[in-house]
Amino acid sequence: MAVSAKDTLTERQPIDALIVGAGFAGMYMLHKLRGLGFNAKVVEAGSGVGGTWYWNRYPGARVDIQSLEYSFGFDEELEQEWRWSERYAPQPELLRYAEHVAERFDLKRDIQFNTKVTAAHWDEAGQVWNVQTDAGDPVRCRHLILATGCLSIPTDVTFPDLDTYKGDIYRTSRWPHEGVDFSGMRVGIIGTGSSAIQSIPIIAQQADHLTIFQRTPNYSMPAHNGPIPQADFEAWAKDPRAYRAASKDTVGGFQNEASEALATETAPEEIKAELERRWAWGGFRILGAFADTSIDPEANRIVQDFIAGKIREQVSDPAVADLLTPKDHPFGTKRPCVDTGYYATFNRPNVELVNLRAEPLVGFTPEGIETSAKTYAFDAVVLATGFDAMTGAIDRIDLRGVGGRRIKDHWAEGPRTYLGVMVAGFPNLFTITGPGSPSVLTNMINSIEQHVEWIADCLVALKQRQQTSIEASEEAEAAWCRHVAEAVTPSLLPQANSWYMGANVPGKPRMFMPYAGGLNTYTEICNQVAAKDYEGFIIRQGDRMLSESRTFTSHPPMGEIPEKLMPIIVERLTAAGLMPSPE
Ligand code: NAP
């Protein structure tokens, strides 16, 4: 008789690792641990693998990092046998890829679908996690690995009288599997983030009329999607290992031709030529044009003005173009969007932009949406209103560590982690791409591979020495949080009301959550920590403490900083109390 993941999850003996989530992170973690001889299982809330690509099925959904780089590199045969059809793969193809990976490595036999983890309590005496799911029997595991995704839980945003609305309501993040046909309909969409920016052009082609409710415009760059250019493919095919290594050895985990030139020291015609070249290339390449745009407001303004010009070129009504131009945050301080035909969509006669800053949204009526100016009638409304990012999936679990301490209390003033991987007082709990790691500032799949491999190495090291638990020390966690602040404070990133800052969720502590020091630097730090016998971690065997390293000293040396930027950096670090004031 076949044994299912469900049967084995209820065994009396604790399993080695329970992984929560069967997205790319959970799938690779399972494969990696199984290969190392661990008894690992996965629970997944959805009915299939794929995580982000399982849930976000809205029209136009596609990856914003080139597919050649947004795919697994851990297995050469997998890499060789899969061919992406486009530069930026669409969601159905990404889901097929996830399914292919699951089939190829026979992952599903260890995944229990349609199951949510509701609680996980650390049992100090037994040195195990007692995990409760909504599927019934509790699970005991030595290690609990949260592969729950950074953008997996939609915000609880609601609107007055939403329940009175008689039309259909769709959320981009929970799109019906059978799809939606908007033909002949009057459709409204709330939000203008990446999800909206990708779906608007497609919905506009289908719907009779589309009304877009915008509160804050975002920067969006053209994907110039299509078949993978031959030169790019050849650069990859020549040596996929070297290509992958080059992607990982970058700040963002993808190749971006990052320049060291300063915009403020470059002649205007050279700036224009460089920005045009990168705009024509498409996607995030423009982010790497100049080294000072992420720090110096004057340099950032140059790119802002360039993009404003691009919006004016694409949108025929100057008033609409102006409304679509971001003015409240520097370029790059929110994750920029990558679109296909977004701005041109506003030239269509069936598309209308409503500026919620001028006519605030009052609520819903049975017919549609009411603003302070008028009521708009719709057959369907799409909510593209975003996610409770980075912490949402974790703090919805009743997660309790040593002494019953709740993660929600530990994170009351913002998420605290060591290396974005472990939390003080929560032994044997790992987060993949958790807060305090580069995660959402990078090509996620490269971040995922780094995390999975580091966690797997850590579990192997523990097992070899028969150690039963590992836990971040309070001191190392505090030092890491300080380093996360040091990494972001010199930049303009904290200046936007972004979901990176928790600013899109009322009551969420304002704190820049991801690590802005770069994936390459971060990887080096994690490797150093491991090489120093897991510096900053407390390691136990049963109730015996085996090693107690309380410090974290693996800061990378500061890279070379252009002299011109030093005063800004010093000023910001000093103002944040991260550097003593110069006498
Ligand atoms: P988002 O960027 O947070 O955008 C949410 C939008 O909803 C914003 O325009 C926001 O306006 C609006 N909104 C929220 N509450 C509102 C309210 N009460 N009234 C009016 N408007 C409201 O969310 P997202 O578009 O889902 O994207 C989130 C992240 O997911 C992206 O930044 C990206 O990292 C990732 N993503 C990636 C892709 C991809 O290309 N692969 C696609 C989709 C998403 P305000 O800005 O004024 O709050």
387 pocket-lining for ligand 1 (C-beta < 6 Å): yes
Helices (H), 36-130: 52-55, 76-81, 91-104
333 pocket-lining for ligand 1 (C-beta < 6 Å): no
Residue with CA closest to ligand 1 atom 4: 193
- 173-180, Cβ contacts within 8 angstroms, sequence gap of 24 or more: 173/55, 173/56, 173/58, 173/387, 174/55, 175/55, 175/56, 175/57, 175/58, 175/61, 176/57, 177/57, 179/57, 179/59, 180/59, 180/380
Helix (H) or strand (E) holding 393: helix 392-395
336 pocket-lining for ligand 1 (C-beta < 6 Å): no
Say how many Å lie between the CA of residue 264 and the centre of ligand 1: 31
Q: Which ranges of the chain have pLDDT less than 70?
A: 1-12, 557-558, 582-583
Residue with CA closest to ligand 1 atom 14: 385
Query: What are the tokens at 286?
Result: 């423009």
- Give the atom of ligand 1 at the shortest distance from the alpha carbon of 383: 7
pLDDT value of residue 2: 45
Which one of 161, 383, 385, 440 would you pick to mutate in the ligand 1 pocket, going by the greatest count of ligand atoms within 8 A of its CB?
A: 385
Cα angle value 553/537/551 (rounded, 5°):
30
Instruction: List residues bridging with 375 in a β-sheet.
Output: 370
- As a whole number of angstroms, the distance between CA 305 and CA 307 comes to 5
- As a whole number of angstroms, the distance between CA 502 and CA 482 comes to 18
193 pocket-lining for ligand 1 (C-beta < 6 Å): yes
- Give the atom of ligand 1 at the shortest distance from the alpha carbon of 190: 21
Which is it for strands 375-377 and 368-371: parallel, antiparallel or unpaired? antiparallel
Say how many Å lie between the CA of residue 64 and the centre of ligand 1: 14
pLDDT value of residue 548: 73
- Give the atom of ligand 1 at the shortest distance from the alpha carbon of 338: 40
385 pocket-lining for ligand 1 (C-beta < 6 Å): yes
pLDDT value of residue 340: 97
